[in-house]
Amino acid sequence: MLKIENLHAEIDGKQILNGLTLSVGAGEVHAIMGPNGAGKSTLGYVLGGRPGYEVTQGSVSFEGQDLLDMAANERAAAGLFLGFQYPVEIPGVSNVQFLRTALNSQRRARGEAEISAGDFLRLSKAEGEALGMSMDMLKRNVNVGFSGGEKKRNEMVQMGVIDPKLAVLDETDSGLDIDALRVVGDGINRIMRQPHKAVLLITHYQRLLDIVAPDFVHVLADGRIVRSGGPELALQLEREGYGAIAA
């Protein structure tokens, strides 16, 4: 589904990704772990198509398409969802308005009919309930006045409504208490643990991986994958730290 080859990327002339190679197949959950500054968030932004992140070498294909050749919104319409570490506030725009605009933009880009107001309301209400977000909260402005945990749950509501093929989740577990972690983890499993979907889970901690069990674990350091393995690698990291493994 996703094929990253020898990816080099820089921001403001500073090299961050340094020959990253990674392949993600349908039905798989990959965890990306690594110390601060290793390039984890940069990987998310480069995949998402954030302006300012310049790819200097390498390639990324997503379902056979050249991902790097597509604008951010085109990547979204193709089925790529980026869960933000710090979800952004948009004053004056309600969550439902934002989400419906986003969903319909994607649908139009794919040549599909727009979702009706009624269907959208049912869908967003159901996703909201599954993630402990009331309709009242969804009618509030995008992430404005939301706690850290609410923002992350809101990301999951968006993911549920948008229903992407590939979710790149950047520290979706940060800022969550134990109960919220369970809700979010269950959400990821429910929405994304499907044969035709895949997840790239960027995280520091084992605790999310206890709920969303990864098929593969990769250690990212200095802008490249330095080690890959199964779920046991994450447990080893937890015990021994990055220093021992990345060295």
| Smallest separation (angstroms) from other proteins to the CB of 224 | 24
Nearer to other proteins, 143 or 203 (CB): 143
Applying CB under 8 A, which part among 3-11, 13-21, 42-50, 132-140 lies near other proteins? Answer: 42-50
| Smallest separation (angstroms) from other proteins to the CB of 82 | 5
16 binds other proteins (CB under 8 A): no
| Smallest separation (angstroms) from other proteins to the CB of 49 | 7
| Structure-block tokens of residue 35 | 């110390």
57 binds other proteins (CB under 8 A): no
Cα 238 → chain centroid: 22
130 binds other proteins (CB under 8 A): no
Beta-carbon neighbour count of residue 176 at 10 Å?
A: 20
| Structure-block tokens of residue 127 | 């996703």
DSSP state string for 125-165:
HHHHHHTT--HHHHHSEETTT--HHHHHHHHHHHHHHH--S
Nearer to other proteins, 92 or 195 (CB): 92
Number of residues that bind other proteins (CB under 8 A): 35
How far apart are the C-alpha atoms of 198 and 176, rounded to whole Å?
23
What contacts 86, CB < 8 A, 6 or more positions away? Answer: 151
Instruction: Write the binding mask 65 to 94 for other proteins: x where contact by CB under 8 A, - elsewhere.
Output: ------xxx-xxx---xx-x-xxxxxxxx-
Contact 103, 120 (CB under 8 A): yes
> What are the residues binding other proteins (CB under 8 A)?
45, 48-52, 71-73, 75-77, 81-82, 84, 86-93, 97-99, 101-103, 105-106, 109, 141, 158, 162
